[in-house]
Amino acid sequence: MMNTQQKQAIDLAIAGHNLVILGSAGTGKSFVLREIKESLLSLGKSVKLCCSTGIACSVLDEASTVHSFLGLCDGRFGPNEINSIHNESAIYNYVDQHLNDTDCLIVDECSMISKRTFQSIIHVCSRKKCQMQLILCGDFLQLPPVPNQLYMDSGQYCFEADEFSRLFPHKIMLTEVFRTTEPILVKAISDLFTGKLSPESETFIRSLSRPLLSNPEDIKLFSNNALVDDYNRSCLLKFPGDIHEFVSTDSGEKEVLDKMVVSHTLWLKVNCPVILLQNLSDKKLVNGLRGLVKSITKDNLVVSFETINICATIPLVKFTGNSFQHRKH
């Protein structure tokens, strides 16, 4: 049974309004999106569901990244150039077809969409001859946008764009938590999200303290990528098997190449864990997916991704930055 806030969001969507649906974990955001989609489909409207990341898409049915759906590439094209880029290249012809086939575009995990990317989204959607309904969903107290120096994206929130308030006059905040019925746990989670921990919540959290057993699979947090690379290399050296070294083929300015997320030299061993740093397919093989290397040749890798039950051959991949600096692994 839905509450008043959820019903209000669904009613606004059925009436054709743009809106933003916000709420912390467990407040039923995914439930509301499913209800909105089914309601609009029953009215004969075409609804497309997108997410800000590939990992988010992998847990939703029939979702694609907003970058792929609207031809944003990896975010390198800003709002002032995105439409001219699309007009100049035939590879983006599909974008107008997507726009024409969509009555309502739902974008989930909007907290990770930067102001710059949001403005690019709006510029692309403005090409549709008749107005398209836009619905954003997420929690701005969760993961923020990631700054990207290469593309001059400072990582500002999408709601900091001038267009945001004008385009989204309706904002629904879901506050009732359905995932758990323990009041003290709900309050502690809320306090942590807002950064204002009450004495009661602090006492509750401290009561959960217990000795943790050391495990090689424990996650380590570092302040920068250089420290991450050093730690990963030290772990790989201790890992059984022969090291295979892959050195990238670079073209462009060193200053730009050094800012790329992928390193110049890649060390691998059979059965070592790896993480994808680029979407290789919109549905399954996405940035952030963890796998295990099963075999290595000079031209490709075979990697098992157990969470999606896929064993994939990974070919040489080219990464590009602004001014089209290239790094190929």
Count of C-beta atoms within a 10 Å radius of residue 89: 10
pTM of the full structure: 0.80
pLDDT at residue number 221: 86
Residue 219 has pLDDT above 60, yes or no: yes
* 310 backbone dihedrals φ, ψ, rounded to 5°: -130, 135
In whole angstroms, how far apart are CA 154 and each of 21, 67, 114?
24, 18, 8
**Distance of alpha carbon 188 from alpha carbon 202, whole angstroms:** 8
Residue 207 has pLDDT above 70, yes or no: yes
Domain ranges of the chain: 4-174, 225-328
Whether 267 and 245 have beta carbons less than 8 Å apart is answered as yes
- 135 SS3 class: strand
Which residue did the predictor score with more confidence, 16 or 218?
16
pLDDT at residue number 136: 97
Centroid of chain to Cα 240: 33
CATH architecture of the domain covering 4-174: 3-Layer(aba) Sandwich (3.40)
**Distance of alpha carbon 134 from alpha carbon 154, whole angstroms:** 24
Instruction: Place 325 in a pLDDT band, splitting at 50, 70 and 90.
Output: low
CA angle 27, 158, 188 (to 5 degrees): 35
**Distance of alpha carbon 54 from alpha carbon 278, whole angstroms:** 9
**Distance of alpha carbon 138 from alpha carbon 50, whole angstroms:** 12
Whether 6 and 156 have beta carbons less than 8 Å apart is answered as no
pLDDT at residue number 195: 85
**Distance of alpha carbon 29 from alpha carbon 22, whole angstroms:** 7
pLDDT at residue number 104: 97
pLDDT at residue number 201: 93
**Distance of alpha carbon 60 from alpha carbon 31, whole angstroms:** 12
To the nearest whole number, what is the mean pLDDT of the chain? 89
Whether 173 and 28 have beta carbons less than 8 Å apart is answered as no
Mean pLDDT of 232-260: 86
pLDDT tens by residue, 275-324: 888 888 656 888 888 999 999 988 889 999 998 889 999 888 787 776 55
Which residue did the predictor score with more confidence, 189 or 153?
153
Whether 160 and 115 have beta carbons less than 8 Å apart is answered as yes
**Distance of alpha carbon 21 from alpha carbon 40, whole angstroms:** 16
In whole angstroms, how far apart are CA 160 and each of 77, 98, 118, 139, 142?
19, 27, 10, 15, 16
Which residue did the predictor score with more confidence, 186 or 46?
46
**Distance of alpha carbon 125 from alpha carbon 183, whole angstroms:** 42
